[in-house]
Chains A and B, each alone.
Chain A
């Protein structure tokens, strides 16, 4: 057996053992709990910062990013409703 094959065999053995170990670690509640709490804390901080920024921006009478997003979303919804009505109209016109 040459060197590369020997190395691959060793890597395979290491990988099998390590993957099984890491899968156990990553499914462990004592790891998941703090990791989830950190993610949640970071997200709540981001949401609070965004809200404060938007409030300040809105206070000087300017549309916020959220306002623009809501407006665009309403336009998309309107497009879908028009397509629904077109379908209903086509169905009503279709000979029975």
Chain B
């Protein structure tokens, strides 16, 4: 069914009725809170396979500091986390929570060394080898990379999913933050935490016509229930953002966007050097061709800096969010990531006994670069 067959009025009426039913539930995969500190929580997702049939090394997911974690667990049947759990992985995820006024004093070191460090150690402690795979998405990938560079001990492998690394190729966002008129100090002193509506407006200004394009797509596919469910869940996530702790934001802009310290090797974390060449574990940089938030060149730069002998770039079509949560991602990106981890599991030969499904090591997995 389509607009031309049903008519515009009937289509709009249907949309109104569908929207009136409310937004879809999100983040539905069963989980336990295994740690909480200040506003952040460490979630562990309940296994669907018995202990002997699970992959050995757990996976820690680090979402962006300014977005909700449930983009990785959007809807039952359309969830990256659910997919990984069903494939036999032991999955943990950081939920950054909602900063309140006092968190204006939370620093970059608090988040990147303190909170991520605690999450890595907690997850690694539950692993037989004392190490965990780490996947960081967007800003979460940048934070995970900096943390790994300064503290490589407990990280078995690093996946940077659309994570900005070289801010010299940071695109329009980098251009805005380097504009002489933009005073990050005044912004933090005035607001405390940088409010999410301001950041959301900035992201929308990167593609000013995007909301209109979405609206037309919504009308065009108003009779496609699967599309509507996915669209509404993604929009729910897209409008449920988190303010950025002020002091952390100040350093993020000054040292990464303006001074590009991670790429040029002068980044420090809690008094330690955080150089990319200190990372020697297996590294996978996932980049998206049409990512207008994190340009491909910025994300791919990770591989130029790390000293890992086992490093690869997985370049896929699509944009910053769609390429991670779409049906295409469920058929392409998710199985490829699972296979990459399985191939690097410390006990890969053990695997899933008698199971030759998509979780088994695949020679088609990304080749080292």
Contacts and interface: CB of A to CB of B under 8 A. Distances in A.
A58 interface: no
Contact of B186 (A27, A29, A47): A47
A8 B8 CA distance: 13
Interface of A: 2-5, 8, 11, 15, 18-19, 22-23, 26-27, 29, 32-37, 39-40, 42-47, 50, 65, 68-73, 76, 79-80, 83, 87
Contacts, number: 106
B172 interface: yes
Contact of A46 (B172, B181, B190, B216): B190
B209 A19 contact: yes
A84 B268 CA distance: 21
Bin chain B's interface residue count. Answer: 35 or more
A74 B77 CA distance: 43
A15 B175 contact: no
B139 to A, nearest CB: 21
Contact of B175 (A11, A19, A27, A69): A27
Contacts of A26: 172, 205, 208
Nearest to B191: A43
28 contacts: A4-B2, A4-B8, A8-B216, A11-B212, A15-B209, A18-B208, A26-B205, A26-B208, A32-B179, A32-B181, A33-B181, A37-B181, A39-B181, A39-B182, A40-B187, A43-B186, A43-B189, A45-B190, A50-B190, A65-B101, A69-B104, A76-B103, A79-B38, A80-B37, A80-B38, A80-B110, A80-B118, A83-B118
Given A4-B4, A19-B207, A36 B181 contact: yes
B105 A69 contact: yes
